Amino acid sequence: MSRYQSNRRVQIEPDPVGKVRYDDDDDEDEGSMKLRPSGSNVTEDQELFMGVKVRRKASLHRDYLGDYLDVPSHPYLMKILEKQGDRKVLFADKVLKFTGSGKMKRRILLITDFAIYIVDPDTGALKRRIALAAVEKLCLSELSDNFVAIIIPTEYDVLIASTRKTEIVTVLVDATKSASNYELDVLLSNRFEYNAAADLVKEVQFEGVEGGVKTKFVRK
């Protein structure tokens, strides 16, 4: 039973395969970007995901690997996990994390059966550890983009972009249910707010455009 009521149950589908190119017009207060597949056009399946989420045909044929970095082969990552007493890695990959000023920084996202880790791949430093029990919900658009916001009421939130967004959401929902016996809410909306910093709230707005999704950040 979820701690938070939802009008619809969300079934997660795999993400589209392929790299995404970012056209970033963001500044520190307000901006927008367009996400579109690079290299070749991806055919959109007009069947809607749970009535709202547009799926791509390529997304129907994708297997989950979980650890895309081979964490055991990186001593600095193992040291971080061992220091916290975590051993079971459910997901590991590089993602783009958005700062409070709107900048994108490459980070390593680790998910274990107890926590979320944000690590700087250049310095090997642990930037943040978030207990799964602290996560309230996940926010995604209704379109085929790569954004997911992790909402943490007791802290500031995390907004990331990853081509493996669906796998990240699936892992977080399953891990939270296993660890705490409740299901995370997964909110699907083409605009949602998140706390970009302790004292800064932003709204992310999504719009489907030719060739991709236009994303705009607005300071509230």
**Mean pLDDT across the chain:** 79
* List of residues 6+ apart from 129 with CB closer than 8 A: 84, 115, 116, 117, 118
How far is 161 from 88, CA to CA, in rounded Å? 23
The more confident residue out of 39 and 132 is 132
Q: Of the spans 3-7, 67-71, 176-180, which averages the highest pLDDT?
A: 67-71
Is residue 64 a part of any domain in this protein? Answer: yes
3-state secondary structure of 68: coil
Q: What is the mean pLDDT of residues 176-180?
A: 89
Is residue 4 a part of any domain in this protein? Answer: no
Task: Give the range of the structural domain holding residue 148, as residue numbers without chain letter.
Answer: 20-219
The pTM assigned to this predicted structure is 0.75
pLDDT tens for each residue of 82-126: 999 998 999 999 999 999 888 999 999 999 999 999 999 999 999
* Structural domain count of the chain: 1
What separation, in Å, do the N-terminal and C-terminal C-alpha atoms of the chain show? 32
Is residue 10 a part of any domain in this protein? Answer: no
User: 173: domain CATH number?
Assistant: 2.30.29.30
Is residue 72 a part of any domain in this protein? Answer: yes
Is residue 11 a part of any domain in this protein? Answer: no
